A and B are shown apart, each in its own frame.
Chain A
Amino acid sequence: MKQLMIPVIAGAMFSFAAGAASATTLEDVKAKGFLQCGVNTGLIGFAAPDDAGEWTGFDVDFCKAIAAAIFNDATKVKYTPLTAKDRFTALQSGEIDLLSRNTTWTMSRDTALGLAFGVVTYYDGQGFMVRKDAGITSALELSGAAVCVQTGTTTELNLADYFSRNNMELNPVVFEKVEEANAAYDANRCDAYTTDASGLYSTRLTLAAPDDHIILPEIISKEPLGPVVRQGDEEWFNIMKWVGFALLNAEELGVTQANVDEMMSSENQSVQRLLGKDGTFGEDIGLTTAWAADVLKAVGNYGEIFERNIGADSPLQIARGLNALWTKGGIQYAPPIR
């Protein structure tokens, strides 16, 4: 018996294009018509969906600022909520165009991980939150404490460093998602919760009884937080940096969301350069003349973003502190647009 068999060459077309697309990130973003922005899975004030399901917050506003600079439309953003663990892989693999997720600028991330930081949107530091009834007033009394912490953060490393430096015994309880870490702390699984101080204020609001918890005075690390892009695309890197600087310069020059149009006729050359009345700064970074004006109309200047999301006009009530402009006692300082 002979089986009739028709030779079928099944598949195996090894004609894969080697490597990713060669277009720049800006071209890609313009072509698809929106910015894919990586944000926190839920940190009130920084990035969290509001009652209507819209993403809002300090980090979210930076995504909107970039979208406004490119499209003159702050709504052309799609958000990818990311855990601390997954955020760099998402950026490295090209799943997102920009990471704006309270991410600390460190040397290894800036070099070995293939990431590029350029602007600090929030000067933060790591702190501890404990229950009031634990009766402690200093982080140095935390020896032996169980500490809830999120994995994949500088926090996890600082925590180990701080405890060993002070000869204290550490029992970390490590979670992947910030919500799980919060819930475990709220359920009294841990004596202390640690993250960046800004995150502690935000987390405290989500606990069952926020007033039963205090934030200890010690700040154990430097955490300069900012947006991140992939290395190797200078144009896109410049857009991230200079949108950030434009927000700071606008605050310094007194240009706000409300008075952008008035300021267009300002005599001040610095304002004219910022708003595109003088020079070709927008074109030089691949954007339009009115890039900064578009950003300011959409989200306001740095101070407005801060107060609206995490400052005096928000439930978090975080003081400007280090994040005040250099002219007002802080360290927020942007290179000039000229």
Chain B
Amino acid sequence: MAVGDMAPDRGVRGAARVSPLYDPKIRGIVFQVLLAIGVVAFFWWAIDNARENLERANIASGFDFLWSRAGFAISQSLIDYTPDDSYLRSFFVGLINTLLVGVIGVFLASIIGFIVGIARLSRNWLVAGIAGVYVETLRNIPVLLQLLFWYKAVLAVLPGPRQAVELPLGSNLSNRGLLLPWPDVEPGFGATVVALGVAIVAAIGISIWARRRLYATGQTFPAFWTGLGLIVFLPLLVFLASGSPLQLMYPELKGFNFVGGLHIQPEFVALLLGLSLYTATFIAEIVRAGILAVAKGQSEAAFALGMRQGPTLRLVIIPQAMRVIIPPLTNQYLNLIKNSSLAVAVGYPDLVSVFAGTVLNQTGQAVEAITITMLVYLAISVATSLFMNWFNRRVALVER
């Protein structure tokens, strides 16, 4: 650039006679085509080379193995699965387990992250100090070590199933996990579900109506409490009227382990805790940065207009902080989801453990299994990014 600025401007005078070799447009096209050919040639070569090597080594290839009998058991599954099911089904079991820990982890990390981020800005020295120590220690220790720590800590502290700690409502805690009573649905429960749906739709309707009225007349209406009341009491009324068609199943110690109820395994808890607490440290810093990015004059202006502390935070500070927070937040969500592939270290049957682990080993089809696994993570990450980008556009500052 500097050279171009100082040199006599030959470009304008010589524009008509420029050689195609130096025409930026033609050069751009040529290089793009060359690059495209290069990329295609590279992948073609890589795939062909892999195929040739597999053939020479007599290793079976193709995706037919997906329909064969899996033959191995999986400890945690949200869908029905037995060793008689296919590898494809075991793939879905692993995928759902990954999504489960990813979704719950993202929520938990966000909640902890927001609380800690705000706590770090607290004027209370103790609160800010604790939050600071938490962030500075946990984000500087590798997440794999944290997972192992939580797993060992969980297992070391909790007693065996026979000495399980009794908790209220028939639930109990042991090193086999947390067992909770779980409702068993009886016929007639459908009416309650319908009532819940109706209540939610009505609550949304009321909030829209209240907003319109606010803009039209300036009168406020307690739409939130009305909606909440509807969502809680309408289904409850229908539930009681239809004769309480739910039965709680309590966990019982039978033989070696507990039967019935909801079983939350220690592997899942260790993974969830480790991932959430680790990612939350980064989210806390992002939240702190986002809030500090809102100029002090904004809250002063809001106070000057007579707004109280709560509405100022809700309507002025947070919306402006969010547009700074959301783009880096997406990265943290993606990190958490990808880090969940460390699950195998603590024995949690996620996609990598089940599919890129056991299935790969049983079938020996490393190329296929790893390709599928990579594509799945890519798809999850892209979907998360797209959603966050959409959300970001919604909260972004609209500038003229």
Contacts and interface: CB of A to CB of B under 8 A. Distances in A.
A161 interface: yes
Contact of A151 (B42, B49, B346, B353): B353
B349 A174 contact: yes
A180 B357 CA distance: 15
Contacts of A329: none
B353 A88 contact: no
A172 B73 contact: yes
Interface string A164-185: 1000001111111000110110
Interface string B37-67: 0100110010001001110111110000000
Interface stretch (A24-32, A68-76, A141-149, A315-323): A141-149
A232 B364 contact: no
Contacts of B357: 85, 151-152, 176
Contacts of A160: 71-73, 83
Contacts of B57: 92, 114, 230-232
A19 B347 contact: no
A7 interface: yes
A191 B256 contact: yes
Contact of B11 (A1, A180, A183): A1
Given A19-B53, A89-B366, A113 B254 contact: no
Interface string A230-245: 1110000000000000
A138 interface: no
A12 B38 contact: yes
B163 to A, nearest CB: 10
A161 B366 contact: no
B5 A173 contact: no
A164 B34 CA distance: 58
Given A92-B59, A113-B59, A189-B266, A85 B360 contact: yes
A187 B175 contact: yes
Contact of B155 (A145, A159, A188, A191): A188
Contacts of B32: none
B212 to A, nearest CB: 56
Contacts of B176: 146, 189
B80 interface: no
A232 B3 CA distance: 62
Nearest to A14: B41
B75 interface: yes
A16 B347 contact: no
Contact of B59 (A20, A112, A161, A183): A112
B342 to A, nearest CB: 10
Contact of B347 (A109, A156, A184): A184
Residue among A4, A88, A111, A174 with max Cβ neighbours from chain B (10 Å): A174
A20 B27 CA distance: 38
A272 to B, nearest CB: 38
Contacts of B259: 144
A135 to B, nearest CB: 11
Contacts of A114: 54, 57-59, 364
B160 interface: yes
A333 interface: no
B233 to A, nearest CB: 41
Given A14-B45, A84-B361, A173 B152 contact: no
B38 A171 contact: no
Contacts of B232: none
Contacts of A209: none
Contacts of B363: 112
Residue among B56, B256, B349 with max Cβ neighbours from chain A (10 Å): B256
Contacts of A52: none
A23 interface: no
B9 interface: yes
A2 interface: yes
Interface string A1-20: 11111010000101010111
Interface in B1-49: 1, 3-5, 9-11, 14, 21-22, 24, 27, 34, 38, 41-42, 45, 49
A145 B72 CA distance: 16
A113 B364 contact: yes
A163 B72 CA distance: 11
A160 B60 CA distance: 25
A174 B75 contact: yes
Contact of A152 (B52, B53, B349, B358): B358
B53 A146 contact: no
Given A92-B57, A174-B358, A2 B257 contact: no
Given A4-B3, A18-B52, A161 B364 contact: no
A258 interface: no
Contacts of B72: 156-157, 159-160, 172
A71 B60 CA distance: 35
A163 B257 CA distance: 15
A258 to B, nearest CB: 42
B257 A146 contact: yes
B60 A143 contact: no
Nearest to A18: B49
A181 to B, nearest CB: 8
A144 B82 contact: no
B344 interface: yes
A111 B52 CA distance: 17
Given A170-B73, A188-B155, 20 more contacts: A1-B4, A2-B9, A3-B1, A4-B4, A12-B38, A14-B41, A14-B42, A19-B53, A92-B366, A152-B360, A161-B71, A173-B267, A174-B74, A174-B349, A174-B353, A174-B358, A176-B344, A188-B160, A189-B155, A189-B175
Top 7 nearest A-B pairs (CB, nearest first) are A152-B361, A2-B11, A113-B364, A160-B83, A114-B59, A187-B155, A114-B57
Interface of B: 1, 3-5, 9-11, 14, 21-22, 24, 27, 34, 38, 41-42, 45, 49, 52-54, 56-60, 71-75, 82-84, 152, 155-156, 160, 175-176, 254-257, 259, 266-267, 344-347, 349, 353, 357-358, 360-364, 366
18 contacts: A5-B27, A85-B357, A92-B59, A146-B176, A146-B257, A151-B344, A151-B357, A157-B72, A159-B72, A160-B71, A160-B83, A164-B83, A172-B73, A172-B75, A174-B347, A175-B347, A180-B347, A231-B57
Interface of A: 1-5, 7, 12, 14, 16, 18-20, 84-85, 88-89, 92, 108-109, 111-114, 134, 142-146, 151-153, 156-157, 159-161, 163-164, 170-176, 180-181, 183-184, 187-189, 191, 230-232
